[in-house]
Structure 1
Amino acid sequence: MQKFTLLLLSLVLLAPLGIDLYLPTLPQIAEGLATPVSLIQITIPLFLLVMGLGQLVTGPLVDNYGRKPIALIGLALYIIGSIIAATATSWPLFLIARLVQGCAVCCTAVVAFSGVRDRLSGDDAARAYGFLNGALNIVPALAPLLGGLLASAFDWRAPFWFLCGYAALITVLVIFWLPETRPANTLRVKGLPLAQYAAILRQPRFLAFAFANAGALGMVLTYVSLAPHVLMTEGGLSSLQFSFAFGANGFWIMLVSVFVNKAIRKAGRPFCLAMGFITMLLGALLLMAGMYLLPASIQTHWTLYMLPVAVSVAGLAFTVGPATSYALEPYQQQAGVASALQGFIQMAGGAAGSLVIVTLPLAEKMSLAWMMLLGAALALIAWRCSKTIQGTLTALK
């Protein structure tokens, strides 16, 4: 089972690598393609948008045709997109490459989370989801550094050739070692399963846990969006210092995720959801205390931003694994469709919430504090929902 989980992780990593690896090279890409940096920057939200919307399409494909074939199609698209990006000579070609990669990760993400649901349930599934989501945080910690080193040694195209090579390697591993896990009794659908999506969306339990994930993700996206201005412009950190602070937070979430996996086994999923609520609430209170209770002369110090963030992002680790497992447990025969819908709500809801908060006429720290409070409120709702179903489902043996 450990080999199986690691294979699923290799598929999940395609998405964050596709975002974080080329972040340090945005100015060089703009210069190389003779286009404004702003046009290169918009490929990031477009990538996420395609990934979120595309899961609604790939979910039924995974249920109809199996996990492994769709994973291989996704990997092939990823390789094609990476090659187009690495050889692009204009912004339209680069945009096409990013859209192709976005379509690719729709397939691999749904396959990975459907695979967990196929093989595991209950606390075992929660630990697997927590492992996948927790391990993702090592990518923002290391990928920008790796991308910068590759670009320095070669040029801005090198990170995309790296992505091509990585996807090719994972393709070989999937062909030989990834089993087909689709249950024989999986419900097949024709076209876009709007009726199935509507039926799932009518379930308060599903919505409670899916939106808890969206709140936690939205909180992290808000932190990431505001961090460069707060830490470098206001806090005075250099680019290198910012990289270390940003990367350390990724390692911190990994450590918390290890603890959460043990906590799920010993204390249960409802306890972890309660801790998600507490940590996000505490992070918001610490952030606001630094703004209103401390002297103005030290309010711009970077630690007054990163310490509350460290407390609050622990809520992501506590929330995502249990919430995802609870959301998907009732849908063994529709794992692909349910995983796709859950992923769409998590990504689209988190991104939308973050965008709305950031665009409000609020100070950066206050915007983040409000997003932390929203994430805490959604985690509280999920915890209350979990108390009504605790013990009704157990792990598969």
Structure 2
Amino acid sequence: MQKFTLLLLSLVLLAPLGIDLYLPTLPDIALGLNTPVSTVQTTIPLFLLVMGLGQIVAGPLVDNLGRKPVALAGLLLYIVGSVLAATASGWPQFLCARVVQGCAVCCTAVVAFSGVRDRLDGDDAARAYGFLNGALNIVPALAPMLGGFLAEAFGWRAPFWFLTAYAVVIGLLVIFFLPETRPAGTLAVKGIPLRQYWQILRQPRFLAFAFANAGALGMVLTYVSLAPQVLMTEGQLSALQFSIAFGANGFWIMLVSVLVNKMIRKLGRPICLATGSVAMTLGAVMLLGGVLLLPLAWQHHWALYMLPVAVSVAGLAFTVGPATSYALEPYQKQAGVASALAGFIQMAGGASGGLLAMALPLAEKSALALMMVVGAILTGTAWYYSKKVRGTLTAL
């Protein structure tokens, strides 16, 4: 089972690598493509939005064709997108490359989370989801530094060649070692299963848990998008200092995720959801308190941004594993469809919420505090519904 989980993790890592590896190279990409940096930055939420929308299509494919064929198709698309980005001579090709990569990771993400649902239930599934989501935070910890080193040594195209090589290696591992886990009784669907999606969307419990994940992701996306402006432009951190601060936060989430796995086993999932809501609320209070109460000379210090962020993203670690397991638990024979719908709500909802918060006429810290409050409210709602769940839910 450990080998199986690590293989699923290697598939899940394709998404954060596609975001974090090229963060330090955004100015160089803009210069190389003769495009404004602000335009290149839009590829981050666009990538997530495509990933969310694409899961609506990938979910039925996973249930109809099986987990392994869809995983291989996603990896092939990822290789094509990475090569297109690495060889881009203008903005249109680079934009197309990012869309192709987004389509690719929607396939691999659905396969990974469906695979967990195929093999595990209840608290075991929650720990597996927590492990996958917690281990993802090693990517923001290391990927920006790796991308920066690759770009400094070989130019801004090097990170995309690295992604190409990574996808090739994972493809070989999937071919030889990933078993097909689709249950024999999986319900086949024709086209996009709108009726099944509608049946699932009518369940308030599913919506509560899926939107809790969307709120947490939206909060993190807002933090990631605003961090260069707050820490480097206003806070005057160097690129290396920025990478260290960004990376330390990733390691912090990973450590919290280990604690969450222990708490799930000993205290249960509802306690974790309640803790996540409280952590996001506390992060928002700290962030706004620093803006309103501390001297103006202190306002641009990195700690006034990163300490509230550290508290709030701990709430993400407490939320994602339990919320995902609760959302997918009733759908053993519809795991691909349910995983796709949950992923769509998480990715598209989180990306849309983050974009909306950043578009409002608010200062960067106020926009982030707003998303922390939204995440806290949605996670608190999920906690309320978790108290009503008893035992194993039955399928629709």
TM range (shorter): over 0.9
Q: Work out the CA distance in 2 between the residues paired with 1:290 and 1:155.
A: 39
Q: Which moved more, 1:152-161 or 1:55-64?
A: 152-161
Q: Which moved more, 1:382-391 or 1:224-233?
A: 224-233
The answer to whether structure 1 residue 357 and structure 2 residue 357 are counterparts is yes
The answer to whether structure 1 residue 262 and structure 2 residue 262 are counterparts is yes
What's the counterpart of residue 127 of structure 1?
127
Change in Cα spacing, 1:19 to 1:69, as seen in structure 2 (3 Å) is: same
- Structure 1 counterpart of 2:367, one-letter code: S
The answer to whether structure 1 residue 331 and structure 2 residue 336 are counterparts is no
Q: Work out the CA distance in 1 between the residues paired with 2:36 and 2:302.
A: 30
What's the counterpart of residue 154 of structure 1?
154
Q: Which moved more, 1:376-385 or 1:297-306?
A: 297-306
Q: Work out the CA distance in 1 between the residues paired with 2:156 and 2:321.
A: 35
Change in Cα spacing, 1:76 to 1:19, as seen in structure 2 (3 Å) is: same
Deviations 1:237-286 (A, max 9, x none): 22221211111101100000011011101111001001001111111111
- Structure 2 counterpart of 1:287, one-letter code: L
The answer to whether structure 1 residue 98 and structure 2 residue 98 are counterparts is yes
Deviations 1:7-65 (A, max 9, x none): 00000001111111122222333333344434433333322221111000000000000
What's the counterpart of residue 140 of structure 1?
140
Q: Work out the CA distance in 2 between the residues paired with 1:300 and 1:30.
A: 26
What's the counterpart of residue 30 of structure 1?
30
What's the counterpart of residue 216 of structure 1?
216
The answer to whether structure 1 residue 344 and structure 2 residue 326 are counterparts is no
- Structure 2 counterpart of 1:73, one-letter code: A
| Distance apart, 1:392 and its partner CA | 4.1
- Give the fraction of aligned pairs with identical amino acids, expressed as a percent: 79
What's the counterpart of residue 367 of structure 1?
367
**Unaligned segments of structure 1, at least 5 residues:** none
Q: Which moved more, 1:255-264 or 1:73-82?
A: 73-82
The answer to whether structure 1 residue 378 and structure 2 residue 378 are counterparts is yes
Q: Work out the CA distance in 2 between the residues paired with 1:321 and 1:147.
A: 28
TM-score by length of 1: 0.96
2:98 partner SS: helix
Q: Work out the CA distance in 1 between the residues paired with 2:234 and 2:34.
A: 31
Q: Work out the CA distance in 2 between the residues paired with 1:286 and 1:18.
A: 31
CA contact (8 A) 1:273 1:323 kept: yes
What's the counterpart of residue 8 of structure 2?
8
Change in Cα spacing, 1:28 to 1:227, as seen in structure 2 (3 Å) is: closer
What's the counterpart of residue 176 of structure 2?
176
- Structure 1 counterpart of 2:301, one-letter code: H
Q: Work out the CA distance in 2 between the residues paired with 1:35 and 1:234.
A: 23
Q: How many residues align?
A: 394
Change in Cα spacing, 1:34 to 1:248, as seen in structure 2 (3 Å) is: same
| Distance apart, 1:136 and its partner CA | 1.0
Q: Work out the CA distance in 1 between the residues paired with 2:96 and 2:75.
A: 16
1:388 partner SS: coil
Q: Work out the CA distance in 2 between the residues paired with 1:381 and 1:139.
A: 29
What's the counterpart of residue 309 of structure 1?
309
| Distance apart, 1:366 and its partner CA | 1.9
Q: Work out the CA distance in 1 between the residues paired with 2:392 and 2:24.
A: 47
What's the counterpart of residue 50 of structure 1?
50
Change in Cα spacing, 1:295 to 1:83, as seen in structure 2 (3 Å) is: closer
Q: Which moved more, 1:286-295 or 1:364-373?
A: 286-295
Deviations 1:171-209 (A, max 9, x none): 111011101000011111101111111111000000000
Q: Work out the CA distance in 2 between the residues paired with 1:303 and 1:28.
A: 28
Q: Work out the CA distance in 2 between the residues paired with 1:301 and 1:390.
A: 47
CA contact (8 A) 2:82 2:161 kept: yes
Deviations 1:294-317 (A, max 9, x none): 233323322122111111110000
The answer to whether structure 1 residue 40 and structure 2 residue 31 are counterparts is no
CA contact (8 A) 1:270 1:390 kept: no
Q: Work out the CA distance in 2 between the residues paired with 1:309 and 1:36.
A: 28
Q: Which moved more, 1:336-345 or 1:347-356?
A: 347-356
1:330 partner SS: coil
**Unaligned segments of structure 2, at least 5 residues:** none
- Structure 2 counterpart of 1:306, one-letter code: M
Q: Work out the CA distance in 1 between the residues paired with 2:166 and 2:230.
A: 34
Change in Cα spacing, 1:301 to 1:155, as seen in structure 2 (3 Å) is: closer
